[in-house]
Structure 1
Amino acid sequence: MNVLVTGGAGYIGGTVVRLLLAGGHKVTIFDNLSHSKRSAVAEGATFVHGELADKECVLKTLREGAFDGVLHFAALIEAGESMVVPETFFRNNTATTLTLLEAMLEVGPRRLVFSSTAACYGEPEKTPILEDAKLEPTNAYGESKLLVEHMLRWMNKIHGFRYASLRYFNVAGAIEGYGEAHEPESHIIPLILDAAMGRRKNIKIFGQDYPTKDGTCVRDYVHVKDLADAHLLALGALTDDTRPSRMIYNIGTGTGFTVREVIDAARRVTGKDFPVEECPRRDGDPAVLVAGSDKIKSELGWNPTSGDLDTILTSAWKWHQIRYGS
């Protein structure tokens, strides 16, 4: 296949790009490098340095590429920041996606795999969370993604636009030679590994009074390679016209870990100790997010193979050491 990957110089998008290239597919990356570097662009991929808000640039890229499908990862992802400047998230995540969809409707292709989020659910009524759970985000980041899902539903209904929306939970880990390197970093596992490496003085725990076993938030951690596999399966399904034209799947392991459990596991894997700073809750953080992913397993045959926390942390630690030359 010939595939366009927006945000393909990022962590998840870059992992998917590398799997696509390894599978013999042709890939074009569209990225503004706002949270990445040119060095993150995979060798063998065509690179377009552009803004999704620039419709003419998007149209030109789509026309010249004649793509079979689009994988859309480009977005701001810091939930905490979204509660400070929500307007930035609605502009960057929602409005620019509309520009992309308009361009795809105009020149094609009409197949999109959308990088959505478990933040669409907000505080769940029960766990594990299933795809038919209520959608009530508790932060503007989740709302910005949910608005895209609403747009996609109408594009599908009115224009026959084929799409898969993958709502994933906490993604971590690394593949050989490529891992998490956000700039600035906001995700818990690389932040913990920074503390283990001595690159930061401590790791902050935001909130110790949640209704969980130790008072800290519970999250479901999925290995980035397993997540990337899910995207490839979804893209393949979209190119099969005998399959549904609208697919929504959760991506996770079904197992949750508290923040303290993740910290303890990181100490075990790295053999390093580091201080912890207890901080107040952040606005918009749900207490528990754990995925029910049986639907994608049964319908697309997704088979995660790297799900346990120690495996995720070990791969991330190896990448972290390579990244910083330790």
Structure 2
Amino acid sequence: MTKVLVTGGAGFIGSHVSEELIARGYDVIVLDDLSGGFEDNIVKGAGFIHGSITDQQLIHHIFQEEKFDYVFHLAAYAAEGLSHFIKHFNYTNNLLGSINLINASINHEVKCFVFTSSIAVYGASPKLPMSEEDTPHPEDPYGISKLAVEQELRVSHDMFGLNYIIFRPHNVYGEKQNIGDRYRNVVGIFMNQILQDKPMTIFGDGTQTRAFSYIKDVAPLIAESVQIPDAYNQVFNIGADQPYSVNELALSVAKAMGVSPQILHLPPRNEVKDAYSSHEKIQRVFGKRPVTSLEDGLNAMAAWVKQFGSRQSQKFKHIEIRKNLPAVWLE
């Protein structure tokens, strides 16, 4: 049986990708330190190793013992805005941890390394929608770390023959998302605030635009990618096409949750105003697939959230820079 490693498999996207891989007959091993995920997210039938990608010795041991055919690397701390204030933590987890996996994949002759990057690599693109042909210009440490891993995979392929597939997802939401994380995943934050009878908080005037991507439109493509030869050594945007303002999103989330919208605007933070991408390339290589509407996706997530309940948001304990930190993150 083909054996695969899924890092971050107790997290949101990783758990869905693991489920898709098991459905396709793979032997799945999940590696997760449970810093952002939950053990009950781990898919039935998957093996589980509790540990961090930053642990070099552990990574070496796992690869030596398990003999993986493929690696699906989804472990990350994906908080773009917060990454300015946690630079060491960001680069240790999102860059150096990835390097440990790349080194091990080369040394143990992994057939393909699948990496979830982010459209954060584009920064404030002068052209919308963002295309894989655009020159990346990330504006936050999170995007910088993702772009560095992309470049490392390219040179590792050139030097050592390590095949890779890079996906740049954006604003993914859906069931199993950690709605208690106060720093990332705006849909989850809104739903958690509603469950706690709090207003939905929006940085700035809410006119910033994003395309919000339903998880079940994203995870199957990532899982099946290693069986598509034309996907090898390529970069793909993946997610929804239709952009919405954050104000529009808030109204849609309130409707899905069955409440009247209550919105509190906070001082603006440093973020890209408009970010959404083209998916012509992935449609060309993978074929066109049905896309879940924002309304249907939010309704599905809302049903899960109501059953699951609210989560208490925890403060991030590793703030390294407090200058210009949004006041709401200090509360």
Structure 1 residues 169-205: Cα deviation after superposition (integer angstroms, max 9, x where no partner): 110123xxxx2125534311111112332x1511111
| Partner secondary structure for residue 90 of structure 2 | helix
Name 2:296's counterpart in structure 1: 311
Q: Indicate yes or no: 2:200 matched with 1:203.
A: yes
Name 1:181's counterpart in structure 2: 178
Name 1:212's counterpart in structure 2: none
Name 1:211's counterpart in structure 2: none
Name 1:295's counterpart in structure 2: 281
Answer whether contact 1:156 1:162 (CA < 8 A) is retained: yes
Name 2:86's counterpart in structure 1: 85
Aligned length: 308
Q: Aligned partners of 1:30, 1:19: CA distance in 2, in Å?
A: 16
| Partner secondary structure for residue 212 of structure 2 | strand
Name 1:131's counterpart in structure 2: 132
Name 2:223's counterpart in structure 1: 232
Structure 1 residues 194-235: Cα deviation after superposition (integer angstroms, max 9, x where no partner): 2332x1511111111xxxxxx521001111011101202322
Answer whether contact 2:240 2:291 (CA < 8 A) is retained: no
RMSD (Å), alpha carbons: 1.6
Task: Say if 1:156 and 1:64 are closer, same or farther in 2 by CA, change over 3 A.
Answer: same
Q: Aligned partners of 2:97, 2:156: CA distance in 1, in Å?
A: 15
Aligned positions of 1:243-258 closer than 5 A: 243=230, 245-258=232-245
Answer whether contact 1:110 1:162 (CA < 8 A) is retained: yes
Aligned positions of 1:82-231 closer than 5 A: 82-174=83-175, 179-181=176-178, 184-185=181-182, 186-197=184-195, 199=196, 201-208=198-205, 216-231=207-222
Residue 45 of structure 2 aligns with an amino acid whose one-letter code is: G
Q: Aligned partners of 1:247, 1:182: CA distance in 2, in Å?
A: 32
- Shift in Å, 1:105: 1.1
Structure 1 residues 280-325: Cα deviation after superposition (integer angstroms, max 9, x where no partner): 2212x1111111001011112251432x110110111011012129
Task: Say if 1:265 and 1:245 are closer, same or farther in 2 by CA, change over 3 A.
Answer: closer
Residue 114 of structure 2 aligns with an amino acid whose one-letter code is: V
Which deviates the most, 13-22 or 112-121? 13-22
Residue 267 of structure 2 aligns with an amino acid whose one-letter code is: P
Structure 2 unmatched ranges of 5 or more? 311-331
Q: Aligned partners of 1:125, 1:258: CA distance in 2, in Å?
A: 18
Q: Aligned partners of 1:195, 1:261: CA distance in 2, in Å?
A: 17
Q: Aligned partners of 1:264, 1:157: CA distance in 2, in Å?
A: 48
Q: Aligned partners of 2:216, 2:94: CA distance in 1, in Å?
A: 24
Name 2:317's counterpart in structure 1: none
Name 1:74's counterpart in structure 2: 75
Answer whether contact 1:172 1:224 (CA < 8 A) is retained: yes
Q: Aligned partners of 1:110, 1:269: CA distance in 2, in Å?
A: 42
> What percent of counterpart residues are identical?
28
| Partner secondary structure for residue 5 of structure 1 | strand
Q: Indicate yes or no: 2:280 matched with 1:279.
A: no
Task: List 4+ stretches of structure 1 deviating above 4 A.
Answer: none
Give the TM-score normalised by structure 2. Answer: 0.89
Q: Aligned partners of 1:148, 1:251: CA distance in 2, in Å?
A: 18
Q: Aligned partners of 2:218, 2:232: CA distance in 1, in Å?
A: 21
Name 1:22's counterpart in structure 2: 23
Structure 1 residues 236-267: Cα deviation after superposition (integer angstroms, max 9, x where no partner): 22xx4xx4641100012221000010111122
- Shift in Å, 1:274: 4.0
Q: Aligned partners of 1:53, 1:180: CA distance in 2, in Å?
A: 23
Which deviates the most, 221-230 or 8-17? 221-230
